[in-house]
Amino acid sequence: MLTNLIANPVRYSPAVRGIVDLHSGKIWVDSTGVAGDGSTFHVGIVLAPKVSASSGKN
């Protein structure tokens, strides 16, 4: 099942894929491969780094 999802990324929601791509993120799936166990979808995006107050930049 995991291999099928990775090999066929069109199965991801196009809206989620678009948002993740805009933020230089990634989507991955964890699955046992056993029917009925389900799968866990993960979404990771890059956050802008915080700038310290002492630098004078926001």
Residues 8-51: pLDDT tens digits?
555 667 888 888 888 888 888 888 888 888 888 888 888 777 67
- For the record, the structure tokens of 21 come out as 């791509």
Rg, C-alpha atoms of the chain: 17
What is the extent of the structural domain holding 13? 2-55
Predicted confidence at residue 39, as pLDDT, reads 83
Residue 4 or residue 37, greater confidence: 37
Output the pLDDT for position 2: 44
Number of domains observed in the structure of the chain: 1
CB 40 within 8 A of CB 18: no
Confidence at residue 8, expressed as pLDDT on a 0 to 100 scale: 52
3-state SS record for the chain: CHHHHHHCHHHCCHHHHHHHHHCCCEEEEEECCCCCCCEEEEEECCCCCCCCHHHCCC
